[in-house]
């Protein structure tokens, strides 16, 4: 018997496409946004502009950049603006096309072209665990990503792609972890970790939602990026209400961590918390400074403005002396 000859026409499978199992992203966006009232009285907090794009567009762009081409938004009442933003706007598009304004036309069309975007409503804006459970039917039995829209990861970072890649190699679920000062750990889910033998990846041995500084097992905070095994749904179904009387995603992950199937990707890059007023302002300033079209002029103004503040401070001190 001769050697089997493989005809050269056999298509070579693209390892990236065939091996990839994480294709869907879930973006919980049903929260009331009370920290930004009155701006969020009639506008969803996810639609607040960061320079000239709504915060949630950065999140969907991040998912698309990591190869996730199906995005499910978990929304609620008063969130119609999010649906409209990721849809076509025919009148506007026609008006811009008639004027030949291709730059703005692209800006209007881009959100709808980022991914296949779906929306379901959470009903009552209950907890994060409940929001994730709402995605069960859409997600099915494949691993999926969850991106919290208050956390904005700088567009130049590749955190989510790394997390997807870790899931594909190691199975289980993956959380993004960031070291925070001890006085901030009570604002986050906190992970107990062990080395994994791989640079930048840890084994998560336990998780606790918003512990006091004294009870925190580490300084590793869970930031709002997860790649979850679909087994999380069965666990969430029976997860009892935890901190604040809410079904916590962290508690479901704690159960998985006890079984040794949760990994942490340690992130030390640029992350902004757009759910916090001061950090929201910092985000806008930083991203504006980085923009090629706005940055040079805005940075020059900012330097002058800061120098003015410093002079005013020195003047106040002189007068008070």
> Up-side HSE of residue 207: CA atoms within 13 Å toward CB?
32
Structural tokens at position 219: 């300084």
Q: Answer yes or no whether residue 166 interacts with ligand G1P by CB under 6 A.
A: no
Q: Answer yes or no whether residue 146 interacts with ligand G1P by CB under 6 A.
A: no
CB of 218 to ligand G1P, least distance (A): 13
Cβ nearer to ligand G1P, comparing 221 with 236: 221
Q: Which stretch binds ligand G1P (CB under 6 A): 112-120, 146-154, 177-185, 191-199?
A: 146-154
Q: What distance in Å separates the CA atoms of residue 246 and residue 240, rounded to the nearest whole number? A: 8
CB of 29 to ligand G1P, least distance (A): 12
Cα dist from 166 to 141, 144, 161, 202, whole Å: 18, 13, 9, 11
Q: Answer yes or no whether residue 151 interacts with ligand G1P by CB under 6 A.
A: yes
CB of 41 to ligand G1P, least distance (A): 20
Q: What distance in Å separates the CA atoms of residue 39 and residue 319, rounded to the nearest whole number? A: 38
Cβ atoms of 161 and 227 within 8 Å: the answer is: no
CB of 302 to ligand G1P, least distance (A): 28
Cβ count within 10 A of residue 41:
10
Cβ nearer to ligand G1P, comparing 33 with 143: 33
CB of 224 to ligand G1P, least distance (A): 4
CB of 210 to ligand G1P, least distance (A): 7
Structural tokens at position 51: 């320079």
Q: What distance in Å separates the CA atoms of residue 108 and residue 3, rounded to the nearest whole number? A: 57
CA–CA–CA angle 27, 232, 114 (5° rounding): 25
Q: What distance in Å separates the CA atoms of residue 240 and residue 109, rounded to the nearest whole number? A: 43
Q: Answer yes or no whether residue 172 interacts with ligand G1P by CB under 6 A.
A: no
Structural tokens at position 96: 């811009």
Residue number closest to ligand G1P, CB atom: 189
Cβ nearer to ligand G1P, comparing 153 with 288: 153
Q: Which stretch binds ligand G1P (CB under 6 A): 54-62, 148-156, 193-201, 303-311?
A: 148-156
Among 33, 224, 242, 264, binds ligand G1P (CB under 6 A): 224
Q: Answer yes or no whether residue 221 interacts with ligand G1P by CB under 6 A.
A: yes
Cβ count within 10 A of residue 203:
20
Among 44, 54, 189, 242, binds ligand G1P (CB under 6 A): 189
**In the stretch 229-268, what mask flags binding to ligand G1P with x, by CB under 6 A?**
---------------------x------------------
The number of residues that bind ligand G1P (CB under 6 A) is: 12
Q: What distance in Å separates the CA atoms of residue 189 and residue 209, rounded to the nearest whole number? A: 4
Among 72, 148, 232, 236, binds ligand G1P (CB under 6 A): 148
Among 26, 74, 117, 128, binds ligand G1P (CB under 6 A): 128
Cβ nearer to ligand G1P, comparing 58 with 188: 188
Cβ atoms of 178 and 218 within 8 Å: the answer is: no
Contacts with ligand G1P, residue ranges (CB under 6 A): 128, 148, 150-151, 188-189, 209, 221-224, 250
């Amino acid at each position: 018997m001769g050697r089997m000859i493989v005809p050269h026409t056999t298509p070579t499978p693209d390892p990236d496409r065939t091996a990839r199992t994480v294709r869907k992203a879930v973006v919980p966006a049903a929260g009331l946004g009370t920290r930004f009232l009155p701006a969020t009285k009639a506008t969803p907090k996810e639609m607040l502009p960061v320079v000239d794009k709504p915060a949630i567009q950065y999140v969907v762009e991040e998912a698309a950049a990591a190869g996730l081409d199906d995005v499910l938004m978990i929304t609620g009442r008063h969130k119609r603006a999010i649906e409209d933003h990721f849809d076509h706007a025919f009148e506007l598009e026609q008006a811009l096309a008639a004027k030949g304004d291709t730059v703005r036309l692209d800006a209007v069309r881009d959100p709808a072209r980022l991914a296949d975007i779906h929306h379901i409503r959470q009903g009552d804006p209950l907890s994060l665990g409940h929001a994730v459970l709402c995605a069960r039917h859409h997600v099915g039995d494949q691993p999926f990503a969850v991106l919290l829209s208050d956390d904005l990861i700088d567009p130049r970072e590749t955190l989510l792609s790394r997390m997807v890649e870790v899931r594909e190699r190691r199975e289980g679920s993956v959380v993004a972890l960031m070291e925070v000062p001890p006085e901030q750990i009570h604002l986050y889910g906190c992970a107990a970790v062990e080395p994994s033998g791989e640079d930048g990846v840890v084994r998560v041995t336990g998780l606790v939602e918003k512990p006091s500084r004294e009870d925190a097992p580490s300084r590793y905070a869970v930031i709002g990026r997860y790649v979850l095994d679909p087994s999380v749904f069965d666990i969430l179904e029976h997860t009892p209400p935890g901190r604040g009387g809410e079904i916590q995603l962290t508690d479901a992950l704690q159960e998985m961590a006890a079984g040794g199937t949760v990994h942490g990707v340690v992130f030390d890059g640029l992350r902004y918390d757009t759910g916090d007023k001061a950090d929201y302002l910092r985000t806008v300033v930083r991203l504006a400074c980085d923009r090629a079209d706005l940055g040079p002029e805005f940075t020059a103004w900012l330097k002058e403005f800061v120098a003015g503040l410093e002079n005013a401070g020195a003047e106040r001190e002189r007068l008070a002396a």
